[in-house]
Amino acid sequence: MKRRQFISLLGGAAAAWPLAARAQQPAKVVRLGYLAPARLPNLIEALRAGLRDFGYVEGQNLAIEYRFALGQSKSYDELARELITLDPAAIVLTGTPAALAAKRQTTTIPIILAPIADPIALGLARSLARPEGNVTGVTMYGTELAHKRMEIFKEAAVGIRRVAVLVNAENPLHRFLWDDIQPIAASLGLEFRLFAVSDFNELPSMFSYMARDSYALTLFSDAQFFSARRRIAELAAMHRLPAIYESRDFVEDGGLISYGPNVPDLSRRAAAFVVKILNGAKASELPIEQPTKFELVINLKAAKALGLDVPSSLLARADEVIE
């Protein structure tokens, strides 16, 4: 066979190899850090699945060092320093406190948001298009989204006027989100009242107060709220509080309605940022991505328990109706 023919055949064979085979990574083990307020299995598995799509498999060519703040005596800064001493290729994280701590501890190791709410308001990046630092990844927040969520809430729970806004006093982002959401109230004919919790044992008394004063409920995105979502949904049901959430997980655990991005999907998308960093890209040059798809999920069982007749027009628009 002539040399030119052989090379041509070889090229054609390479082009026919399965994508997965061509995407396989070298045997060298890549080390990543992972920092979060609590162990959130669905977010972790989504990230792992995204990395597997690129040929990185934990226990084979990938090692992830996990650090979770909940139940620890160590601060976020201490946990971030622990990860940095391991010299990871990147630190993947979720939650505002984790992001701020990682940024305080390193300006060189790439930080991948997977996700957090608003990196610009927190000073983690100069802009979404050009982060200009060591932070990139995915975000999940926007004022327009909060406005749309409240519009849907009014449509689902006709007659609500007073809305309790539950925030985590330990989450520094929530004061920015509170400032953003307040102008929405007047435009929708609503009254917002801030309820800040620092000790989650205070939640039952807070919910009793909300019920006594006929409040409906919403809350800001927060990893600790996410960890306590079943308890929050149970308290809302117990006190007959109509409530709208950002994440469908609350509704799957008994909450009334949610409107927002699919958070596990955002965590999975963060894997692409990790791989770009591993392939030599700089975090400062990778635009931070915003969600492009939003889900409306309604729990009809919860609605019936609250005596709400959800309009058929809203049910028709829902991505999922839980019966």
pLDDT in tens, 221-253: 887 898 899 999 999 999 999 999 999 999 999
Q: What is the pairing mode between strands 257-261 and 243-245?
A: parallel
DSSP 65-93: EEEE-TT-SS-HHHHHHHHHHT--SEEEE
Does residue 316 share a domain with residue 175? yes
For tokens 């999907």, what's the residue? 265
pLDDT at 22: 42
Residues 89 and 236 in one domain: no
Residues 110 and 181 in one domain: no
Based on the fold, state whether residues 112 and 186 are members of the same structural domain.
no
Ramachandran region, residue 282 (left: φ > 0; alpha: ψ -120 to 50; beta: rest): beta
CA dihedral 101, 164, 184, 258 (to 10 degrees): 80
How many CB atoms within 10 Å of residue 119?
A: 28
* pLDDT value at residue 210: 95
Please, are residues 207 and 241 in contact by the beta-carbon 8 Å criterion? yes
Q: 314: buried, middle or exposed (CB in 10 Å: 19+, 13-18, 0-12)? A: middle
Do 121 and 161 lie in a common domain?
Answer: no
Q: Are residues 216 and 271 in the same domain?
A: no
Round to whole Å and give the CA distance between 161 and 190: 5
From CA 83, how far away is CA 85, in angstroms rounded? Answer: 5
Same domain, 27 and 68: yes
> What is the pLDDT at residue 208?
96
Look at residue 74 in the predicted model and tell me its pLDDT.
Answer: 92
Same domain, 135 and 151: no
Count of domains forming the chain: 2
Question: Are both 137 and 64 inside the same structural domain?
Answer: yes
Q: Does 183 lie in the same domain as 85?
A: no
Task: Quickly count: other Cβ atoms within 10 Å of residue 35's Cβ.
Answer: 26
Is-above-0.85 flag for pTM?
no
Tell how strand 90-93 and strand 135-139 pair up. Answer: unpaired
CATH number for the domain spanning 272: value is 3.40.50.2300
Q: What pLDDT is recorded for position 171?
A: 85
Q: How far apart are CA 206 and CA 194, in angstroms?
A: 11
pLDDT score, position 3: 41
Query: Distance (Å, rounded) from C-alpha 52 to C-alpha 159?
Result: 48
Question: What is the pLDDT at residue 5?
Answer: 44
Which pLDDT does position 142 carry in this prediction? 60
| Dihedral pair phi/psi, residue 188, rounded to 5° | -105, 5
Among 127, 157, 107, which Cα is nearest to 259's? 157
Residues 184 and 75 in one domain: no
Low-confidence ranges of the chain (pLDDT < 70): 1-27, 142-143
- 66 contacts: CB under 8 Å, gap ≥ 6: 34, 36, 39, 44
One domain, residues 160 and 245:
yes
Question: What's the confidence (pLDDT) of residue 143?
Answer: 59
Range of the domain at 91: 3-141+264-285
